[in-house]
Amino acid sequence: MDDIPLSVLFGILFLLIIFSAFFSSSETAMIALNRYRLRHLAKEGKRSAVISEKLLARPDRLFGLILLGNNLVNIFAASIATVIGIRLLGDLGVAIAPIVLVMVFLIFAEVMPKTMAAMKPERIAFPASYLLWPMMKIAYPAVWLINWVSNGLLSLIGLHFEDQDDTPLTRDELRTIVREAGTMIPKRHRRMLLNILELENVTVDDIMVPRNEVAAIDLADPINEIIEQIGHAQHTRLPVYENNIDNIIGIVHLRRMTRLLNDKNELTIDALKDILIDCYFVPKGTPLHTQMMNFQQNKRRFGIVVDEYGVIQGLVTLEDILEEIVGEFTTDMQTYNLDIQQQDDDAYLVDCSAHLREINRQLHWRLPTEGPKTLNGLLLEHLESIPASGTTLKIENYLIEITQVSENAVKMARIKLLPEDADDTES
């Protein structure tokens, strides 16, 4: 190399630095690529994404190629730098050239290109794939030999390429992706997607209309009272029972009663029984995603929730499940907030029969929902007795004052969200 001008040697060294930066950035960019986005782009036919996906299908070969090229470039660059050092500084250049070369390569061939690749992986990986793919074909024998040796050594310690982990996204990971989607997915759609993911953790017990609030027809009532009840009904389907709500004999669809109500003389108990639909019973504790599929398979929209003894606990509808995904359907906000009334001091007067999930949803609170489903149940669980009116207690960060009590339940309570640093006391 003594006959080669220094300017040419510096030019070669400059090119080697660029090649090293290319291999370093390609390695980082390929690793940093979002595999799910890559798969999506490849399915859309983006050529660079297709090539990148093929390269990543065998990462051992890809990394073997990149490291082979990078090491060859670095070794050649070290030789050139040594020659330049000797020609400029004599024997002292042999000691100084490696130090200078390491600093230059660390900055311009490692740190900078890898940082850029980590920040913009697609901008680096996709163009690089057009060069890496033909290089893989050309250097395949050498790459194959390197992988054969390295994979053989790895197999000695129990690691096999065929056993590489390709675990799909977990539900929690998918939640994180949806939350961090930002403006890519509208806020309302993100909320719906998260609600769908939560269906497995919510059961029919959490959303059902409890037994004591079920609007039903008792055939033991006088016929004129039944007619009046039907005329004021807010639902299209009503359970029908005899004497006791545990003795439900069917479901009446009010649309079927149009003809009978045209002439009240035709509406008799026997005529009402003739148009009843068989009950569809739902086991207590059924997850919502399972119950939604059950409704679909059985072509039902309405179910009676029963416990293990067959005792009726409440009723659940398909609309209730859909509201868990898309939110409340009602446009009457007065009705929607009937159980929760805001007070002047940022406190809320709450009907204790209200579901904790509903309170949390409307007020964006985090009252505990692992145990009891209603506010009344939560208060009784904490106090372990029927409290007197005026009793105040603190549950987590919520100050609750009981304002109205019946013989066997808490009727109304006043709740206020305390600051995060509030004193942890309970009275």
Which residues are paired to 306 by β-bridges? 283, 312
Tell me which H or E stretch contains 24. Answer: helix 6-32
* Backbone phi, psi, residue 45, to 5°: 95, 10
* Average model confidence (pLDDT) across the chain: 85
Tell me which H or E stretch contains 228. Answer: helix 223-231
Given CATH 3.20.20.100, say whether it is the number of domain 202-326: no
Q: Any idea what DSSP says for residue 384?
A: S
Strands 340-342 and 217-218: unpaired
Contact (Cβ atoms closer than 8 angstroms) between residue 351 and residue 416:
no
Q: Where are the domains of the chain?
A: 6-163, 202-326, 333-417
pTM over 0.75: no
What are the Cα distances from residue 233, in Å, to 226, 236, 253? 10, 8, 11
pLDDT of amino acid 425: 43
Binning pLDDT at 50, 70 and 90, where does residue 330 land? low
Calpha distance 35→39 (Å, rounded): 6
- Give the residue carrying structure tokens 């986005």: 37
Binning pLDDT at 50, 70 and 90, where does residue 60 land? confident
Rounded to a whole number of angstroms, the CA Rg of the chain reads 36
Level-2 CATH architecture, domain 333-417 = 2-Layer Sandwich (3.30)
CB neighbour list of residue 421: distance below 8 Å, 6 or more residues apart: none
Note the pLDDT tens digit of each residue in 104-157.
989 999 999 999 999 999 999 999 999 999 999 999 999 889 888 887 887 888
pLDDT higher than 80, residue 226:
yes
Contact (Cβ atoms closer than 8 angstroms) between residue 38 and residue 53:
yes
Contact (Cβ atoms closer than 8 angstroms) between residue 402 and residue 385:
no
| Structure token pair of residue 312 | 């009726």
* Position with higher pLDDT, 189 vs 66: 66
pLDDT higher than 50, residue 334:
no
Task: Over range 346-361, report the average pLDDT.
Answer: 87
Binning pLDDT at 50, 70 and 90, where does residue 262 land? low
